[in-house]
């Protein structure tokens, strides 16, 4: 009898010990300052690509932005209205947040409605938690663009294209290095040759003001252009959508894209303070 009691108490202690770190993380998150930027990840995907999270943290660190990372299911335990008053920007990154529960979309909309701001990168929110592709990305109604067309396009959904700005004026908003551009409009691979970028074929679901689109994906032999960089609004918040895998580019050593895009979004658009 006493042995059974000891075993039961040991199990209870183990459960409490398991639960405490999660409780601590939630309390820490709910009490964050107004200066910290959050990067959201799926734990399963992070294990496969930890370099992507490190790449985002490196970019933000070099720009001197306080930042932290949170697992998506822990984030969903927090009231988005409370987070919006403390966390000015949430980054929804490529590769490590493909798999996400449907209600992350609802949570994000509430966060934006309460004044939060987000960056949706490439393939964020494009898979069921089980790993199968969605018919429509969970952030599609926020940006007005479905960022996953795998059910329609199959393997062609992930492709390559050249990124072309509407004009040099649109490019100048982001302060890209001049040597990285051809004619001030197209990313260069060197020797005046356009650079092919990894992109997802996306589809516009609702009319997006032309003023919100800064660059398109241009594919050889195709007349249809697809949005590549979009700055728009939702609720009371600002939204940046980038149809390029910034985390993977940065992890591979090509960090000028992430630096320029986040500097513009965080400093020029949102006036987020640095350390």
pTM of the model: 0.88
Give tens-digit pLDDT for 8-53: 555 554 443 443 334 335 555 555 555 689 999 999 999 999 999 9
- For 43, the token pair is 């734990």
pLDDT greater than 50 at residue 154: yes
Cα–Cα distance for residue pair 109/196, rounded to 1 Å: 33
Say which residue the tokens 């770190």 belong to.
21
pLDDT reported for residue 16:
39
Cα–Cα distance for residue pair 244/94, rounded to 1 Å: 8
Over residues 193-212, the mean pLDDT reads 91
Query: Band of the pLDDT at 6, cuts 50, 70, 90?
Result: low
Among 185, 188, 189, residue whose Cα is nearest residue 172: 185
Direct distance between the N- and C-terminal alpha carbons of the chain, in angstroms, rounded to an integer: 58
């Amino acid at each position: 009898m006493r042995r059974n009691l000891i075993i039961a108490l040991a199990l209870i202690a183990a459960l409490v010990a398991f639960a405490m770190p999660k409780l601590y993380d939630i309390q820490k998150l709910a009490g964050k300052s107004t200066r910290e930027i959050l990067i959201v990840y799926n734990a399963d995907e992070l294990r496969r690509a930890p370099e992507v999270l490190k790449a985002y943290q490196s970019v933000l660190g070099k720009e001197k932005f306080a930042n932290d990372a949170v697992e998506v299911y822990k984030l969903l335990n927090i009231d988005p209205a409370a987070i919006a008053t403390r966390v000015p920007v949430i980054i929804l990154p490529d590769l490590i947040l493909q798999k996400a529960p449907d209600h992350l979309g609802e949570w994000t909309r509430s966060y934006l409605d309460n004044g939060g701001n987000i960056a949706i990168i490439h393939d964020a929110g494009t898979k069921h938690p089980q790993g199968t592709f969605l018919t429509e990305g969970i952030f599609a109604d926020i940006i007005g663009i479905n960022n996953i067309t795998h059910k329609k396009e199959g393997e062609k959904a992930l492709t390559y294209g050249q990124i072309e700005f509407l004009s040099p004026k649109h490019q100048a908003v982001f302060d890209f290095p001049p040597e990285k551009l051809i004619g001030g409009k197209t990313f260069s691979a060197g020797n005046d040759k356009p650079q092919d970028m990894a992109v997802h074929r996306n589809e516009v679901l609702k009319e997006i003001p032309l003023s919100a689109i800064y660059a398109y994906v241009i594919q050889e032999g195709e007349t249809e252009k697809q949005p590549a960089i979009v700055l728009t609004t939702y609720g009371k918040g600002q939204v940046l959508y980038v149809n390029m895998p910034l985390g993977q580019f940065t992890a591979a050593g090509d960090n000028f894209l992430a630096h320029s895009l986040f500097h513009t979004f965080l400093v020029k658009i949102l006036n987020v303070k640095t350390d």
